[in-house]
Structure formats: C-alpha cells, structure tokens
Amino acid sequence: MNKYLYQDFLENKETYKNNVFFWVNIIKNILSPEKHEYTEYISTTDNLGNEFFDGNPISNLLVERLNKAVRIIQEKPGTNKIILFSAWLNEIELQEGQSIDELVISLELTQETALLTVDLISAWILRDLTKFRMKEYIKTMAILRDLITRQQTEFAV
C-alpha cells in the first residue's frame, strides 16, 4: 500500500519546508551527475518575501540550455479515490518573446508518485525527449500505471 509522504504539508509549515527540501534533493540527484545547470523560474514568495505554502509549485526548475522547465504541483493527500498523479506539457512565456516548454506534474506525494516524477523528469531533461515524444511517453506511463493499479486491485486479498 502506498503511504503518503509529508501528509500534513499544507497545515504544518515545518513539514512544508521539509517537503520542499525533499524535492530539492531529488532534483539535485537527478541533474547533478549530468552537470545540468538549472534555476527556479516561479517565485514561491510574495513581494514581501512571505512564502505561499500552497504546493503550487512545491518545486520548479528551468534548464535554459534546453529551453525546458519542470513544475511540480503537490496536492493535499487523500482527496481522491485513487492516488493523484498526472502530467502534461505547456508552452509558457517567461519574458517578452521567450517561450519555454514546461513539464507540469500534479501529484499526491507517495513513494510511487515520487518515482514516477523522477522518471518523467529524467525523460524530459536527461534524455531530452522532444515535445511529441514526451507526450507519447506520458500517455504510455499513464496506461502502464492504470494496468498495474488495476492488477493490484483485482488480486488484492
């Protein structure tokens, strides 16, 4: 059974900060071996420096060299019948005339969804899939996840 990680992150600021640190470590471990330089492109604070603590995004990164970005939206756990995990591609404009391809991942955090996120970020950034190939990869991952989830449900004791 999947256990939610950082379950009270929206109610507890300390848990939220630990959750952010979790994602910082995940991203560093994915990108550092390949020497990808990245920055955040979405501010998680207001004009006075106060953090939003809303999970959107819980983490984000921009690899300018690839013209690609990743935004991870973490939802409140347990609000859906099945554990939420979805992904899609956006084209966003950061500055006048500068558009970026963005992988958006929305999830309820479990070990399974963390690993799916690692896999999608790796495909998008490390393997540098094109937009078309990434869309197909996301569809394939969704089909496989549904098949596996259905198997677990059908054969649960």
Backbone angles phi, psi at 113, to 5 degrees: -70, -30
Q: Pick from 149, 142, 25: which is nearest to 82 by CA? A: 149
Q: Please say whether the beta carbons of 117 and 23 come within 8 A.
A: no
State how far the Cα of 31 lies from the Cα of 65, in Å rounded to an integer: 13
Look at residue 136 and tell me if it is in a domain. Answer: yes
Global pTM value: 0.92
Mean pLDDT of the chain: 92
Give the model's pLDDT for residue 1: 52
Q: Which residues of 1-157 form beta strands (DSSP E)?
A: 59-63, 68-74, 85-95, 98-107
Does residue 12 have a pLDDT over 80? yes
Range of lowest pLDDT (56-60, 99-103, 121-125, 149-153): 149-153
When pLDDT is cut at 50, 70 and 90, the band that residue 2 belongs to is confident
Give the model's pLDDT for residue 31: 94
Look at residue 69 and tell me if it is in a domain. Answer: yes
Look at residue 8 and tell me if it is in a domain. Answer: no
Q: For 28-73, what is each residue's pLDDT tens digit?
A: 999 998 889 999 999 999 999 899 999 999 999 999 999 999 999 9
Over range 108-114, report the average pLDDT: 95
Look at residue 3 and tell me if it is in a domain. Answer: no
Over range 148-152, report the average pLDDT: 74
Look at residue 2 and tell me if it is in a domain. Answer: no
> In total, how many domains does the chain have?
1
Look at residue 7 and tell me if it is in a domain. Answer: no
Residue that has been written with the tokens 């995940």 in this structure: 26
User: Domain of 80?
Assistant: 13-154
Does residue 81 have a pLDDT over 70? yes
Look at residue 28 and tell me if it is in a domain. Answer: yes
Give the model's pLDDT for residue 155: 52
Look at residue 75 and tell me if it is in a domain. Answer: yes
When pLDDT is cut at 50, 70 and 90, the band that residue 154 belongs to is low
Give the model's pLDDT for residue 157: 47
